Chains A and B, each alone.
Chain A
């Protein structure tokens, strides 16, 4: 069952991503992105990352994508149907870059699961028992507020700076 769901979600995620790149209308592109993000949230659930799946749907597909939609509508780009694909030199460069990256990545996948590195780590069973013990939120909250607390506080400052920066940049007269 999990295997079938994995392939269904993976196919929707990749199809949605292709829709983002190939759709001419920016609003259509954005809705394909929401589909892709939603199915990646489904993949997160299959990997027992329930909290992140919820965050992905609420923050990513909800808040950030609505921000994009808001900007598209503010700038009145919704009916700009002209194709904006860069052809010629740029498409050659794009295919070369993507092909090169794919070749480099494909080399890494050979025998990824049998790699000796996994013997030094707890593995899926240990993580499952940790989730049973602490709950799906507790398991991510505990390291977040102990080992990574400095990074967590710095993230708060980053968000404040981004907020101020966005307001100053988007204002008509500073």
Chain B
């Protein structure tokens, strides 16, 4: 079941990468990054079955970092939206406000 889990994890990661590259909505791009993190978590858990419990501890940390990242990222998106009135990434071309 390990190889199958790694294949599923790879598929989820590839779909996430595809979403980040193809979508324009900043929130959906962000959601796709979460999808990639989740794919990494799945392969950590699958491998921790064979390689010891440390993988699960890493997943715990990844989830915490993902929560912190989501909070800060969404705050940035809100502050960008206040300025441009849109979340379409094609319109963001200045590194100041």
Tier of interface size on chain B: 35 or more
- Contact between A40 and B68, CB atoms less than 8 A apart: no
Q: How far is the CA of A59 from the CA of B63 in the complex (A)?
A: 8
Contact indicator A127/B70 (Cβ below 8 Å):
no
A126-174 contacts to B, CB under 8 A, are 127, 130, 139-140, 143-144, 147-148, 151, 155, 158-159, 161-163, 165-167, 169-170, 172
Give the chain A neighbours of B49 by CB distance below 8 A: 47-48, 124, 127
Cα-based distance from A71 to B35 in the complex (angstroms) = 18
The interface residues of chain B, by DSSP majority, are classed as helix
Is A29 in contact with B31, judged by CB distance below 8 angstroms? yes
Interface membership of chain A positions 55-71, coded 1 if the CB is closer than 8 angstroms to chain B and 0 otherwise? 11001100110011001
Minimum CB distance partner of A53 in chain B: B45
In angstroms, Cα B47 to Cα A124, docked, is: 10
Number of A-B contacts (CB under 8 A): 221
> Is the Cβ of B8 less than 8 Å from the Cβ of A26?
no
Query: Which chain A residues border B13 with CB–CB below 8 Å?
Result: 101
The 0/1 profile, CB within 8 Å of A marked 1, for residues 43-82 of chain B is 0011011111110110111011111111110111111011
Q: What is the size category of the interface that chain A forms with chain B? A: 35 or more
Q: Are A98 and B57 in contact (CB under 8 A)?
A: no
Q: Chain A interface (Cβ within 8 Å of chain B)?
A: 2-3, 6-7, 10, 13-14, 17-18, 20-21, 26, 29-30, 33, 36-37, 40, 43-44, 46-49, 51-52, 55-56, 59-60, 63-64, 67-68, 71-72, 74-75, 77, 80, 84-86, 90-91, 93-95, 97-98, 101-102, 105, 108-109, 112-113, 118, 121-124, 127, 130, 139-140, 143-144, 147-148, 151, 155, 158-159, 161-163, 165-167, 169-170, 172
Question: Which B residues lie at the A interface, using CB under 8 A?
Answer: 1-8, 10-19, 21-25, 27-28, 30-32, 34-35, 38, 41-42, 45-46, 48-54, 56-57, 59-61, 63-72, 74-79, 81-82, 87-88, 90
